Amino acid sequence: MTAVLRKHNLCSLRSFLTPQHNLRLYPRILIASAYGLLHTAAEPQHSVEAAKKLVPCEHLEQNQAKPISLAQNHGEFVISVIKSITLKTQLAQVHAHILRTSLVQDPKVSLHFLTRVALSGPLQDTNYARYFFGQISYPSVYLYNTMIRAYSVSNSPEQGFYLYRDMRRRGFCIDPLSSSSAIKSCIKIQYLLGGVQVHGCILKDGHQSDSLLLTALMDIYSQCGKCDEACKVFDEMPQKDTVAWNVLISCYIRNNRTRDALNLFHVMQSGSYKCQPDDVTCLLLLQACAHLNALEFGERIHGYMLEHGYCASKLSNSLIYMYSRCGCLDKAYEVFIATTNKDVVSWTAMISGLAMNGYGRAAIEAFEEMQRMGIRPDDQTFTGVLSACSHSGLVDAGMAFFHRMSEEFGITPNVHHYGCVVDLLGRAGVLDQAYQLIMSMVVKPDSTIWRTLLGACRIHGHVSLGERIIEHLIELKAQEAGDYVLLLNMYSSASQWEKVAEVRKLMKEESIQTTPGCSTIELKGVVHEFVVDDTSHRRNKEIYQMLDEINAQLKIAGYVVELSSELHKLDDKEKQYVLAYHSEKLAIAFGVLATPPGTTLRVANNLRVCVDCHNFMKIFSWVYNRDLIVRDRNRVHHFRGGHCSCSDYW
């Protein structure tokens, strides 16, 4: 029986060792130790005898003449075994051995073992790592750092911060890596107070010159909405590398300073800093361009990417998204065609781009072509194709896709898919069916899906259903200012002014503030921003004069102000005045003022374009013979010759 066990353990030992671990290279005492590693009952003489059988005699004789350090060589051998481990069962065996031989207190051995358990892919087990860490009597800074780093990427990042705090309380000399991992732990749980505490420790420890550490600090402030603090840390950096600039750009984008983010592209390359943007910089700036509708700037980034050979699939997909959001589908398609390895993300970006620009049937054709190419759609692809059906009023096709995704592709519909179908049915005026679909959902409906149906109620004037939806939103405690605006719109359209007054009184009592309409237009790489009745622009007087002239020309052509677009109970003259200076109209007037005749104007608005502005834009495109591309919260409108690509279905 003993012989069988020994044979089994010897085989297990060999399974630890990779081909490069040749047993012939180890002296017999190390082989004996390795044998004992897996066979706790082995006697010393048995181990030596086993070693004699494994190692040639001449090699043993050669090693006998040389003095060796048993403890040192044993530890090194165990480290080599740790590196070769591929299974958790082997890990447990090694753990048992280093406990039995007290190697757990050897800093090198314990660090290698902890690293494999805490950070190594398939063997990673944070709970096991913490258990092992607790068995070390006097853990070093390196062991603490390994555990904190492991927690920072785990599902328990708060433990990383607690361990960092424990480390400081025990009087350890903290290095920058300790603080960096602690900050990453705070970032993952958005723990601003923890980040501030680590910041104080960094100053106390004298590590304020470590650029990587300060970059991590910027990130915690950025993600917690403290943009000014992040900027202060950036300004204090002795060396500002590309990573630091990328974090600052990301900070600006995340905190609604998107125009400032674009400006950094030139600042970082200026003579003062001479820092070259990398592929991550381009990725972030393309997102900013898509948000601001800054096509010219996006084209500049595209040119920079081509010049520097940045052609990763993520960048190509971001380019497709940016061009689509800016209403430039021809260039989005060019990038798509030029993408060599089109994956599901590339196809989804193109399908979604066609959808938001109102080309529903083209999006469906792209979906079918994608399947012919052998690319399997994912849940995001179906969100895109369902959205395409919604924007184009393709009810039957949309419902067919909704059923196919689960029956044919095995994809369970999520709340976003249900939202697209509710939008599809709501736009088509089938409001009761849309409501029943929400009530029958397997997943719990969120506030967004109720708002989608509320928007459809506003379009079709279904007041009673709109009131019911508001009740659902109140139950979810998710009502927002925009919900009350939609309700106000329904009441005012139905001339129910008493209810309008009640809602306004409630909004005032609850201090509910509506989001002001904001429009942007980009000219020569500079983004200009307008709000309703805006007087902040330096060419303010000229803009208002131009808008008055445009209004006069359009009225001659038959434009009549849509008074129902104004929600306040005003007389007709007052309503006409208020509607005349919406932010979209101011942006268009500035575009006419600042560009040659015939130039295409591109405007982005943060809200859904109102009926009056939509009518204004259609007639403007005909009278002034200009293409006008306007992106609102829901989609992109292409105005040309008095018509809109949405066919008044938005």
pLDDT value of position 28: 33
CA gap 273, 375 in Å, rounded: 44
Q: Are 178 and 145 in contact (CB under 8 A)?
A: yes
Quote the pLDDT of residue 39. Answer: 35
Tokens 């992106």 correspond to 631
Torsion sign, CA atoms 247, 253, 258, 262: positive
- Quote the pLDDT of residue 13: 35
Q: What is the pLDDT of residue 572?
A: 57
d(CA 401, CA 364): 10
- Which pair of tokens denotes residue 130? 């913490």
Quote the pLDDT of residue 72.
55
Q: What is the model's pTM?
A: 0.78
Residue 481's pLDDT is what?
74
Q: How far apart are CA 621 and CA 603, in angstroms?
A: 13
Own/partner pairs, 3-11, CB within 8 angstroms, 24+ separation: 5/39, 5/41, 6/39, 6/42, 6/46, 6/50, 9/35, 9/38, 9/39, 9/42, 10/35, 10/38, 10/50
Of the two residues 607 and 376, the one the predictor is more confident about is 376
Per-residue pLDDT, 66: 34
What's the whole-number average pLDDT of the chain?
A: 83
| Mean pLDDT confidence for 530-537 | 86
C-alpha to C-alpha distance for 293 and 522, rounded to whole angstroms = 7
Please report the pLDDT score of residue 384 as a whole number.
95
- Binned at pLDDT 50, 70 and 90, residue 566 comes out as low
Residues 88-103: pLDDT tens digits? Answer: 888 888 899 888 888 8
For residue 210, give the nearest of 234, 239, 230 by alpha carbon: 239
Measured distance CA(491)–CA(497) in Å, rounded: 7
Secondary structure (H, E, C), 498-543: HHHHHHHHHHHHCCCCCCCCEEEEEECCEEEEEECCCCCCCCHHHH
Residue 480 has pLDDT above 80, yes or no: no
| Mean pLDDT value across residues 206-228 | 92
pLDDT interval class at 3 (50, 70, 90) = very low
> Length of the chain in residues, anyone?
650
422 neighbors 438 (Cβ within 8 angstroms): yes
Question: Helix, strand, or coil here: 414?
Answer: coil
Contacts of 583 (CB under 8 A, 6+ apart): 517, 518, 519, 530, 531, 532, 534, 605
Distance CA 355, CA 281 (A): 28
pLDDT of residue 466: 87
pLDDT digits (tens, 9 = 90+) for 400-448: 999 999 999 999 999 999 999 999 999 888 999 999 999 998 888 888 8
**Segment 296-300 long-range contacts (CB within 8 Å, at least 24 positions apart):** 296/522, 296/523, 296/524, 296/525, 297/262, 297/265, 297/522, 297/525, 297/527, 298/322, 298/323, 298/326, 299/331, 300/525
**Which tokens go with 633?**
């919260």
pLDDT at 33 over 50: no
| Residue 470: predicted pLDDT | 84
Q: What percent of the chain has pLDDT over 90?
A: 55
DSSP letters for 230-286: HHHHHHT-SS--HHHHHHHHHHHHHTT-HHHHHHHHHHTTSTTT-----HHHHHHHH
Cβ atoms of 55 and 24 within 8 Å: the answer is yes
Cα distance between residue 298 and residue 318, in whole Å = 10
pLDDT of 192 > 50? The answer is yes
Would you place residue 275 in the very low, low, confident or very high pLDDT band (cuts 50, 70, 90)? very high
Residue-range domains of the chain with CATH: 2-138 (no CATH), 342-401 (no CATH), 413-514 (1.25.40), 518-644 (no CATH)
Give the whole-angstrom CA distance, residue 354 versus residue 201.
Answer: 51
Residues facing 639 on adjacent strands: 628, 644
Mean pLDDT of 620-643: 93
Q: What local confidence, expressed as pLDDT, does residue 498 receive?
A: 81
* Range with lowest mean pLDDT among 292-301, 366-375, 604-613: 604-613
pLDDT band at 569 (very low <50, low <70, confident <90, very high): low
In this predicted structure, the answer to whether residue 328 has a pLDDT above a threshold of 80 is yes
Banded model confidence at residue 469, pLDDT cuts 50, 70, 90: confident
**Res. 601: pLDDT tops 90:** yes
The 3 state secondary structure assigned to 12-67 is: HHHHHCCCCCCHHHCCHHHHHHHHHHHCCCCCHHHHHHHHHHHCCHHHHHHHHCCC
H helices present in 357-496, as ranges:
360-372, 379-392, 395-407, 415-427, 431-439, 447-460, 463-475, 481-493
- Identity of the amino acid at 133: F
Give whole-number Cα distances, 425 to 151, 428, 636, in Å. 46, 5, 20
- Where does 557-582 have alpha helices with state H? 572-580
Question: For the ranges 112-126, 362-376, 556-570, which has the lowest average pLDDT?
Answer: 556-570
Average pLDDT over residues 12-16: 36
DSSP 8-class letter at 565? G
For range 531-544, the mean pLDDT: 89
Asked if residue 100 lies in contact with residue 108, where contact means CB atoms within 8 angstroms, the answer is no
Q: What average pLDDT does this structure show over 337-357?
A: 93
Alpha helices in 339-378 (DSSP H): 344-356, 360-372
Helix-strand-coil percent breakdown of the chain, rounded to 5? 65, 5, 30
Compute the distance between CA of residue 64 and CA of residue 489 in angstroms, rounded to an integer.
95
Give residue 173's pLDDT: 86
- Which pLDDT belongs to residue 489? 76
Rounded to 5 degrees, φ, ψ at 100 are -65, -35
Q: Which residue do the tokens 């989804």 mark? A: 348
Looking at residue 557, its pLDDT comes to: 92
pLDDT at 312 over 90: no
